[in-house]
C-alpha cells in the first residue's frame, strides 16, 4: 500500500472511479493544508496506483484556486489527463512567485514537472518525456504531421495586436485557418486521423485562446465557411479532459490585455 496526497482539482480521469468510492478509501485525516499551496488536499491510501506527478502551472489572476490562462500549461495537463496519470497540480502566482517555486524553476517559468526526481521545463520537452516514460495510450504522431497548424498561434497574435485593419494580418490568419480546415476535411477528425494525438493537445488550447481573445477584442469569430475547423474546435473543446483543464474566459481575456493595449 502507498500513500499519495492529491488535490481534488488535480485528480486525473483515471482516478474518478476511485473517488466515487471515497468513503471506503479515506483513512486518517481526510483534509489537510499543503505547506506549499493554498488549496486543500485529500489523503488517500491506495494500492496498485503510482504516486502523483508534481506539476507547476499558472494560477488564475481572476479567481483564487483556479487554473490560469497559459495554453502551454494546459497542454501538459491535457497530456496527463489523456494518459490517465495521477498528478499533483501546484498553482503558481506568476506575479508573486513563491520562493519554493523559484528554487525548482530559477527562470520562473511554467509549466514545469518533476520526472524521475528531476524538474523538467518546456511543454515540448515535458510532453515528449511523458510519451517516452508512459507510452500507453500512445499520443505520438508521424513527424510530417507534427507541424500541422503550427503557424496559427503566432499569426493569431499578430492579428490580435494589430491596430491597422489593412495590414494583412486578418487575411494571413484566414489563409492559415483555411489551410487547416482543408487538412481536417481530408484527414480528420483529428490531425493524426481517427485518434487524438499530442499535436491536437498542443493546438487545442491555442485555438481556445484564439476564439475567446478575438471574440472579445476584435468582435471576430471563425467564419462559417470553415466548417471542418469549427467542428474540430467543438470536438476538442468538449472533451472531458479539456473542460477540466481549460482556463476561465475572463482569465484568457485578462491575460491578453497587456499585449492588446500595450
Q: What is the pLDDT of residues 149-203, one digit of tens each?
A: 999 999 999 999 999 999 999 999 999 999 999 999 999 999 999 999 999 999 9
Cβ neighbourhood burial of 224 (10 Å; 0-12, 13-18, 19+): exposed
Rounded Cα distance, 32 and 196, in Å: 37
CATH class label, 2-133: alpha beta
User: Which pLDDT score, from 0 to 100, does residue 217 have?
Assistant: 98
- Give the Å distances, CA to CA, from 148 to 30, 143, 153, 177, 257: 46, 10, 12, 11, 28
- 90 and 37 in contact (C-beta within 8 Å)? yes
- 111 and 55 in contact (C-beta within 8 Å)? yes
CATH class label, 143-261: mainly alpha
- Cβ count near 253 (within 10 Å): 19
Cβ neighbourhood burial of 26 (10 Å; 0-12, 13-18, 19+): middle
Least confident of 39-43, 120-124, 221-225, 258-262: 39-43
**Model confidence at 221: pLDDT above 70:** yes
Mean of the per-residue pLDDT values of the chain: 86
β-bridge mates for residue 42, sequence order: 6, 31
Choose the catalytic residue: 19, 35, 56, 70: 70
More confident residue, 122 or 3: 122
Tell which residue, 13, 8, 3, 50, has the closest CA to residue 31: 8
The CATH 3.40.30.10 portion of the chain extends over: 2-133
- 67 and 60 in contact (C-beta within 8 Å)? yes
| 70 given a catalytic annotation | yes
Amino acid at each position: 500500500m502507498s500513500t499519495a496526497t492529491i488535490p481534488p482539482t488535480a485528480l486525473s480521469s483515471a482516478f474518478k472511479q476511485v473517488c466515487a468510492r471515497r468513503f471506503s478509501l479515506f483513512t486518517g485525516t481526510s483534509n489537510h493544508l499543503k505547506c506549499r499551496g493554498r488549496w486543500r488536499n485529500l489523503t488517500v491510501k491506495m494500492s496498485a496506483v503510482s504516486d502523483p506527478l508534481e506539476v507547476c502551472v499558472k494560477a488564475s489572476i481572476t479567481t483564487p484556486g483556479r487554473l490560469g490562462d497559459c495554453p502551454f500549461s494546459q497542454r501538459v495537463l491535457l497530456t496527463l489527463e489523456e494518459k490517465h496519470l495521477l498528478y499533483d497540480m501546484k498553482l503558481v502566482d506568476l506575479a508573486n512567485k513563491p520562493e519554493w517555486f523559484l528554487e525548482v524553476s530559477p527562470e520562473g517559468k511554467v509549466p514545469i514537472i518533476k520526472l524521475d526526481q528531476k524538474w523538467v521545463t518546456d511543454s515540448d520537452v515535458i510532453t515528449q518525456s511523458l510519451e517516452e516514460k508512459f507510452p500507453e495510450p500512445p499520443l505520438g504522431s508521424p513527424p510530417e504531421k507534427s507541424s500541422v497548424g503550427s503557424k496559427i498561434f503566432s499569426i493569431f497574435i499578430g492579428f490580435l495586436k494589430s491596430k491597422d485593419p489593412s495590414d494583412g494580418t486578418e487575411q494571413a490568419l484566414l489563409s492559415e485557418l483555411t489551410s487547416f480546415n482543408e487538412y481536417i476535411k481530408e484527414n480528420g477528425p483529428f490531425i493524426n486521423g481517427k485518434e487524438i494525438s499530442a499535436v491536437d493537445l498542443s493546438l487545442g488550447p491555442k485555438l481556445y485562446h484564439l476564439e475567446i481573445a478575438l471574440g472579445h477584442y476584435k468582435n471576430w469569430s471563425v467564419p462559417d465557411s470553415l466548417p471542418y475547423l469549427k467542428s474540430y474546435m467543438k470536438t476538442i473543446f468538449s472533451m472531458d479532459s479539456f473542460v477540466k483543464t481549460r482556463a476561465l474566459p475572463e482569465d484568457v481575456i485578462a491575460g491578453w490585455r497587456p499585449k492588446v493595449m500595450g
